[in-house]
């Protein structure tokens, strides 16, 4: 019997969730007998929608809409970030949770997929308002989270500060300090060395493996980066440290280009002083979306979903796309890039460095024993390289894209766990 479509999303427009479902459809023919269980991948395990009322600085009360989604927990507790953005939707959070399921399985960390978000523009709130928002949200989703149930982490619009508040709120509610309830928190309260740059470092490792497989030289290679937040900034610095040439960078304020190269450390100082890349004096301004189509060897979309689409995929002028963001390339754009011979290293493995070091942080919190940053980076690179090698082997054996190969590896691991666990009752 075929299951009915989900009733709580629009059948006309499922948003990012539709992209994820199409990716699952593409992998299903390669799953063999495990395809019997594939419907599990198409349905979130549980969804919590919460109202978050907070008192604003002017004395008024404002209400915000929040979500926490568990997509799958066959391989371990749910794991995934919390996003603060005015365009957050249930469809987006569902897709992000599902991509976490695939990502965690692809790199072999013992987690399922989860994600959370609040529909809010944090730039319009004071620090006190953001703290009250975070603490109330944490209390509202407290029935779902916990170090053995669901471990949140930073995402777009959140960072160490918010994770510290979440940890403190959860700990106050249960009566004892619980560092392992979140990852990506400040080092002083149980965070891990190397976590801040982990996603960007993983993006670089993914690019390095692709370069090795394709016979490309990283030194002198041109890199364009969309998004200069935590992921894009770290990726830019690490590419620069390995003598690649960052030629274009964008953020919410605009985009800049310099064929001779942009020093990301210098650009970071400009961003800290002015609030964005716009007006950087050592590069010329370009339209923000043009960062995706400048000539380069490596393109790193590290902003939001659906950036490379059917409309602009024909204009992309790179050799390799390394997805630092979640879902930046639509399925139609994937097909166009493949037709043009442009390799895409997909988000579900390329940006897995963050959750890998989050796993390290979680393990360190349980043991109250912390590793050096050199140990963290070495273990991260080893896990990333092992995952990418496994994906590349399937890519070559099955003659499929790297994205489909990653889904074959990950979905097989998830559905093998499902088959072994069986149905309850």
Q: What residue numbers does the annotated binding site cover?
A: 79, 103, 199, 230, 358
Instruction: Kindly write down the DSSP assignment for every residue of 196-250, as one continuous string.
Output: TTHHHHHHHHHHHHHHHHHT---TT-EEEEE--SHHHHHHHHHHHHTT-EEEEEE
How far apart CA 425 and CA 417 sit, in angstroms, is 17
Coil, helix or strand for 174?
helix
Residue with tokens 């496994």: 390
Instruction: Compute the distance between CA of residue 290 and CA of residue 87 in angstroms, rounded to an integer.
Output: 22
Binding-site residue positions for NAD(+): 199, 230
Q: Which residues pair with 299 in a beta bridge?
A: 224, 321
Cα–Cα dist 156/179, whole Å: 22
What distance, in Å, lies between the first and last C-alpha atoms of the chain? Answer: 19
Q: What residues are annotated to the active site?
A: 115
Which residues are documented as binding site for substrate?
79, 103, 358
How is residue 356 written in tokens? 């890998």
Among residues 137, 142, 116, 114, the alpha carbon closest in space to that of 125 is found at: 137
- Does residue 309 have a cis bond before it (omega within 30 degrees)? no
């Amino acid at each position: 019997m075929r299951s009915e479509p989900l009733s709580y999303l629009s059948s006309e427009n499922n948003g990012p969730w539709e992209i994820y479902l199409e990716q699952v459809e593409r992998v299903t023919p390669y799953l063999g007998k495990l395809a019997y269980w594939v419907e599990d991948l198409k349905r979130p395990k549980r969804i919590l929608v919460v109202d978050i009322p907070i008192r604003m600085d002017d004395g008024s009360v404002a209400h915000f809409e929040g979500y926490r989604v568990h997509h799958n927990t066959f391989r371990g507790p749910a794991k995934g970030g919390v996003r603060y953005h005015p365009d957050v939707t249930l469809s987006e959070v569902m897709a992000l949770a599902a991509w976490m399921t695939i990502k965690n399985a692809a790199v072999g960390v013992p987690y399922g997929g989860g994600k959370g978000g609040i529909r809010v523009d944090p730039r319009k709130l004071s620090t006190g308002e953001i703290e009250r928002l975070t603490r109330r949200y944490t209390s509202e989703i407290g029935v779902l989270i916990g170090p053995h149930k669901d471990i949140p982490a930073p995402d777009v619009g959140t960072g160490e500060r918010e994770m510290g508040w979440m940890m403190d709120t959860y700990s106050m509610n249960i009566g004892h300090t619980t560092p392992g309830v979140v990852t990506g928190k400040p080092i002083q309260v149980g965070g891990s060395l190397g976590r801040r740059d982990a996603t960007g470092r993983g993006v670089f490792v993914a690019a390095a493996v692709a370069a090795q497989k394709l016979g490309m030289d990283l030194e002198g290679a041109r890199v364009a980066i969309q998004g200069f937040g935590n992921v894009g900034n770290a990726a830019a610095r690490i590419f620069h440290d390995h003598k690649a040439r960052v030629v274009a960078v964008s953020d919410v304020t605009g985009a800049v280009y310099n064929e001779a190269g942009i020093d990301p450390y210098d650009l970071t100082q400009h961003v800290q002083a002015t609030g964005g890349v716009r007006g950087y004096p050592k590069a010329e301004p370009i339209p923000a979306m043009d960062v995706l189509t400048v000539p380069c060897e490596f393109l790193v979309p590290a902003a939001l979903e659906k950036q490379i689409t059917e409309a602009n995929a024909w204009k992309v002028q790179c050799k390799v796309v390394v997805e630092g963001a979640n879902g930046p390339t639509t399925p139609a754009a994937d097909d166009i890039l493949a037709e043009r011979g442009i390799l895409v290293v997909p988000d579900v493995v390329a940006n897995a460095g963050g959750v890998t070091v989050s796993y390290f942080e979680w393990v360190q919190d349980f043991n109250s024993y912390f590793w050096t940053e050199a140990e963290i980076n070495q273990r991260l690179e080893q896990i990333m390289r092992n995952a990418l090698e496994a994906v590349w082997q399937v890519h070559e054996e099955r003659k499929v894209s790297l994205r489909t190969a990653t889904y074959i590896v990950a979905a097989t691991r998830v559905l093998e766990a499902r088959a072994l666990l069986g149905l309850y009752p």
